[in-house]
Amino acid sequence: MRLFKFNPLTAKKVARFKQIRRGYYSFLAILALVAFSFFAELFINSRAIVVSYEGELYFPTYGAVIPGDTFGLGYSYETNYRELKERFEEEGSDNWVLLPIIPYNPYENNEYEGVFKPAPPSFSEGHWLGTDTTGRDIVARLFYGFRIAIFFSFAFLILTYLIGIAIGCLMGYFGGLFDLIGQRLIEIWSNLPFLYVVIIVFSVVPSSVPVSARIIILLTVMVMFSWMGMTYYMRTGAYKEKARDYVAAAEAIGASTTRVIFRHILPNTLATLVTFMPFTIVGAITAVTALDYLGFGLPPPTPSLGELLKQGTDNLTTAPWIVVSSFFTLVTILTLVAFVGEAIREAFDPKKFTVYR
């Protein structure tokens, strides 16, 4: 039994989308990655999944830090589970440790040949893609970097669309002086140089602000300078729909402005909106990567694709695996999202045969 039914038009669009294999599989792949990233801590982490010690079971992944003292290691900071595993194995006791597939977190520095420097990919060490310039595992940094980037861009998408749609629809619906003034204000606003604002804002943000708040500030600044694009489409959409009879009918039976805009006009302009979504995600990932690359993005040592890319280009000849893995990761993500975007656009296109075929 289905919980809800699409209306026939939507169902047709969904079916059409599924038909476009490239886009559909890309969509599934991204969905899988996002779903996987919710549980990334179980697969890529320095914390063990399960520790069995003296007959008791410990699950360190999601809880508080378990100090080394708990397992008789004689230190009060977080247990090094890789060492613990080796120790248990050496002792040959009944204690055991189950480590994630990649037993490294994105922050810890691992030595290679006795120093902190990039190590080439090695399966035996568990560094599948090698390590970066201070010996941090690249898979871990890429994956957690991806997770931050994708959630960042979802948040970015939702916020820009909320603002863009609301203001765009209002301008289109009311028209006249409101539209005229709104348009001019947007023109002025969009002429502010975004990059300078980011630089200035981050130079005045006190360093006492924690990382999470800094990410929110970055998001806010980016949203502030990105919602304008959407207003143009929604404005034209609203203008067009407003002239239709059904809007006049709705108004005639006394529907409120909010109701007319959000129940009648908006659903009919949705097609435009949906097709833009994936490309906004691409844009947001690119923007946050670029900002990190330039050093104005997320504060170190937050894992990020842009920072890794920068390290890669800085060490092009001495550690090519850094740039290769970060470049391919970025290209893959962006390509997948773009494929989804193309497919959506085609699925929503009333003309069945288009160039996207």
In the complex, the residues that contact other proteins under the rule CB under 8 A are: 63-65, 67, 75-78, 107-109, 111, 114-117, 133-134, 203, 206-208, 210-211, 295, 299-301, 313-315, 317-318
What is the rounded CA–CA span in Å between residue 275 and residue 89? 55
How many alpha carbons lie under 13 Å from residue 135 in its C-beta half-sphere? 11
Q: Smallest distance from the beta carbon of 73 to other proteins, in angstroms?
A: 12
Q: Smallest distance from the beta carbon of 113 to other proteins, in angstroms?
A: 10
In this structure, the chain runs to a length of: 357
Task: Select 64 or 243, whichever has its Cβ closest to other proteins.
Answer: 64
Residues 6+ apart with CB under 8 A from 144: 40, 44, 106, 303
Q: Smallest distance from the beta carbon of 36 to other proteins, in angstroms?
A: 24
Q: CA-CA distances (angstroms) from residue 54 to 72, 86, 94, 96, 176?
A: 11, 16, 8, 10, 77
Burial 78-107 (b: 16+ CB within 10 A, else e): ebbbbebbebbeeeeeebebebbebbbbbe
| Residue that the structure tokens 């975004």 belong to | 194
Q: Smallest distance from the beta carbon of 225 to other proteins, in angstroms?
A: 21
**The CA-based dihedral angle spanning residues 55, 58, 64, 70, taken in that order and rounded to the nearest 10 degrees:** 30
Task: Select 68 or 172, whichever has its Cβ closest to other proteins.
Answer: 68
Task: Select 116 or 232, whichever has its Cβ closest to other proteins.
Answer: 116
Task: Select 36 or 116, whichever has its Cβ closest to other proteins.
Answer: 116
Task: Select 292 or 342, whichever has its Cβ closest to other proteins.
Answer: 292
Q: Smallest distance from the beta carbon of 214 to other proteins, in angstroms?
A: 9
- The DSSP symbol for 96 reads E
Closest CA to 67 of 58, 59, 76: 76
Q: Smallest distance from the beta carbon of 166 to other proteins, in angstroms?
A: 35
Task: Select 47 or 264, whichever has its Cβ closest to other proteins.
Answer: 47
Task: Select 67 or 72, whichever has its Cβ closest to other proteins.
Answer: 67
Q: Smallest distance from the beta carbon of 326 to other proteins, in angstroms?
A: 16
Closest CA to 70 of 58, 62, 61, 82: 58
Q: Smallest distance from the beta carbon of 297 to other proteins, in angstroms?
A: 11
Task: Select 108 or 179, whichever has its Cβ closest to other proteins.
Answer: 108
Strand 56-58 to 50-53 pairing = antiparallel
Integer Rg of the chain from CA: 25
Residues 6+ apart with CB under 8 A from 83: 73
